[in-house]
Structure 1
Amino acid sequence: MLHGVLNIYKEKGYTSHDVVAKLRRIVGQKKIGHTGTLDPDAVGVLPVCLGKATKVCDMLTDKDKTYEAVLLLGKVTDTQDSSGRILAESDIQNLEEQEVQKAVCSFAGEYDQIPPMYSALKVNGKKLYELARNGQEVERKPRRVIIHKIRILKMELPRVHMEVTCSKGTYIRTLCHDIGQSLGCGGIMESLVRTRVERFAIEDSIRLEEAEELMQAGKLTERMIPVDQMFEGYVKLYLKTEAAKAVRNGNIFWPGDILWMGVEAEETFIRPYRDREKVRVYDEERNFIAVYEYREEKKCFQIVRMFFDGRE
C-alpha cells in the first residue's frame, strides 16, 4: 500500500469524488481520500491522501486556500456561478473601475457569509443542493469566514480577475455574489482555479493521466509527500526501544524516554518543551510512529494522532 499525499490537478468536469475513484483504480488500493471539495467546473489543486496519510485529510481541509477567480458583474444566477439559471441582469455601463476596486477590497478581513443553496452542506440530514434542485430554499445561518487577502489581477468590465486567499469554508461563488450585491448590479463566478492549499501549489500538481503514467513506471512515490513531512514544523523525537513499544499502543512517554532529537537525529541535548507543543515521534530505526504533544502539568507527552499500523 502507498502512503503519502499527492498534489493532484483536478480538471474541469470531475468532482473531487471522481478523482478519488480514478486514483483508486490507478493505484489499486481503496484507502484514499481527498482534502476538500472542488466544484465540477472548478480546476486546480486537490491534495489527495493515500494510506496512512488519510489521517491528515481533515488537517489539510482546515488549511487556508488561494484561488484565482473571474467575477462577472451584471448577472445573478440561482447557483451564483455561470452554470445556473439567470435570475436577474443589470446594465453596468455606468459602473466605474474605481468603484469596483473599492467594493472588492472592502471584503478583506472577516465577514459573515451565507452558504449558497447549491452546496453540499446539510440541513436536517439533506444536502442543500438536493433541496435546491427540488425548488426548495431554506434558511441558512451565516458563517464567519476570513478573506486574508484579495486583490484584482485584471479588470475588463464586466469581468474582474481576482486572487483570493481565504479561510476554510469560504465559498468563492458567494463572495462573487456578495461583491455584486454590494455594487447593486449582481455578480456571479464565471471561473475558478484553486492555486494553493497549504504547501501544495498548482505549478507542482500532476494530472490523473500523469499519475497513471508514473504508477506504471513505478515512480509515483517520487511525487508523493511522505506522511511525516506533513508535520515538518514539529521537532523530531527518537525514542528508546521500550518507550517506542509503549507509544505504538498510544501510551504516554516522558522526556527521559527520548534517545535523541533533531532533523538529522544527531542532537542529544533534550531541551525544554512548551505546553501543548507538538512533536513527531520515531523509533530508533527512524520509523515514524505518531504525533504527540507535551503536557506541562504532567511533564509528559500525550498522543495527538497515531500513524503506526499494528499490521506493519
Structure 2
Amino acid sequence: MDGILPVYKPVGMTSADVVSKLRYLLRMKKIGHSGTLDPSVDGVLPIALGAATKAVPALMDLGKVYTGEVTVGFATETEDLDGAEVERVSLPAPFTPAAIDAAMATLTGTITQIPPMYSAVKVNGRRLYDYARHGETVERPKRTATIYAFARTAEPVFDAVTGTQRVRFMARVSKGTYIRTLAVDLGRALGVPAVMSQLTRTQSGGFTLAQTLDLRDLDRETAPAAVAAVLRPIETVFEDVPQHALTPAEWAMVQDGRALTLPLSAPRVLLMHADVLKAVYEQAGPVYRPAIMFLANTGSEIGD
C-alpha cells in the first residue's frame, strides 16, 4: 500500500514507536514519519507508507499548527516539564494580557532560533541530546524559522502561591520551528524564565486532528480496514501542483526517466498514469525533468 496516513500520536509514545507499531499492524517495513514529536507532545503525525516515503521531504515542508501552554516564572534544562529545573523567579504580580500580547507579537515573522540541547539536531555527527546527557556542551547552529501566528487563546492564569503564570496559545509555524524554544523566548521577551508546559500539534502536512487515526485500539485484524478509511494518496502532499495525465508514449518515457515536453508553464507537475501519481517533474528550460519518481506507487487502496 502507498499513501499518507495521518496518525494521532498520544503522549508517552515516540514518533519511532508509532512507526514500529504500524510496521507490526500492517506487516510492512517501508514506513516513515514526517518529523519527530517529543514523547510529552501529542497530536498529528503524518506517516508515509510504501512509495510515499519518497514524499517525506515535501511533507515536512508544509507548515504546522500547535496549541499549548507556556508557564512563566521558571525554566528547565529541556525547555519543557521533562527536564530538571534550572532557574526560578517568583512573579510578584501577573503580567497583563496586553504585555503578553506585545511580547508574543515580537516573536512573529522570520526569527532566529537556537535548538535546545535536548533535541535531535546533529552537530559533528552526534545528536545534541547525546551531548547533553553526557554533560558536554557544544556550539549549537542557529536556525531560521517563520512564525506565521503566535497568539493567546485564553486569559492568563496567575498562581500567587508558586509565583508563576500560565499562558494558553496557538502557534502556526514553518518547518524546523522549536515550540519549546518559542516558549522560552516568550519568557525572555517578558524578562523572566519560562517553560513549555503542554503542547499539542493540531495540524501537520495539511491534516487536522479530526482526520487522524488512533492506533491504540487496533490489532492486526482491524488495522487494515481502519487504515484504508483514512489513507490519502501521495499527491495530497503536493498542494497546488498541477496534474498531467500521461499518454502511453509519455508513460514509456517516464519509466525510462526521460525528459518530457509538456503543454504547461508551471515549475512542477504531477505525472499521473491510470489516476495514480508516478512522478514529479520540474521545469528545466524547454522541458520537464524527473524530480521525484514514484514508479512503484499503486495508489492508496489497501491490497491483500
Aligned positions, number: 291
* CA shift in 2, pair 1:163/1:234, >3 Å: same
Match of 1:236 among 236, 239, 243: 243
CA–CA distance in structure 2, aligned partners of residues 219 and 311 of structure 1: 19
| Alignment equivalent of 2:208, drawn from 197, 201, 206 | 201
Determine the structure 1 residue equivalent to 2:157. 156
1:282 CA drift (Å): 2.3
The 10-residue stretch of structure 1 (108-117 or 212-221) with the greater mean CA deviation from structure 2: 212-221
Percent of pairs with identical residues: 34
CA shift digits 1:126-159 (9 cap, x unpaired)? 1111111111222213211111101100121300
How far is 1:202 from its partner?
Answer: 1.0
Contact 2:44 / 2:207 at 8 angstroms: preserved in 1? yes
List aligned pairs for 1:91-106, cutoff 5 A: 91-97=90-96, 98-106=98-106
Can you list the C-alpha shifts for 1:203-224, whole angstroms capped at 9, x where unaligned?
2112113554784463422210
Which letter does structure 2 place at the counterpart of 1:254?
T
Q: Select which of 265, 271, 278 maps to 1:273.
A: 265
Question: Which of structures 1 and 2 has the larger relative contact order (alpha carbons within 8 angstroms, sep 6+)?
Answer: 2
Could you tell me which residue of structure 1 aligns to residue 40 of structure 2? 41
Residues 267-309 of structure 1, C-alpha deviation per residue, up to 9 Å, x if partnerless? xxx5x414xx2111123x33432111233x3x22211110002
d(CA) in 2 for partners of 1:281 and 1:15?
35
- Do the aligned partners of residues 25 and 89 (structure 1) sit closer, same or farther apart at CA in structure 2, a change above 3 Å counting? same
Q: CA deviation at 1:184?
A: 1.9
Equivalent positions of 1:207-222 (< 5 A) are 207-210=214-217, 212=219, 215-216=222-223, 218-222=225-229
The runs of 5 or more residues in structure 1 that have no matched partner are: 256-269
CA 1:229–1:80: 2 relative to 1, 3 Å: closer
Contact 1:145 1:167 in 2 (8 A): yes
Change (3 A) 1:229 1:182: closer
Counterparts of 1:67-216 in structure 2, within 5 Å, are 67-97=66-96, 98-154=98-154, 155-157=156-158, 158-210=165-217, 212=219, 215-216=222-223
- SS of 2:216 mapped into structure 1: helix
- Taking the aligned partners of 1:310 and 1:163, their CA distance within structure 2 comes to 36
CA RMSD of aligned residues (A): 2.0
Structure 2 residue identity aligned to 1:186: P
Alignment CA distance shift 1:214-1:74 (3 Å): farther
Which of 291, 298, 303 is matched with 1:304 structurally?
291
Distance 1:52 1:139 in 2: 37
SS in 1 for 2:225: coil
TM-score normalized by the length of structure 1: 0.88
CA contact (8 A) 2:157 2:166 kept: yes
CA positional deviation for 1:101: 2.1
> Looking at CA atoms only, which structure, 1 or 2, has the larger radius of gyration?
1
Q: Give the direction of change, closer, same or farther, for the CA distance of 1:200–1:210 in structure 2 (3 Å limit).
A: farther
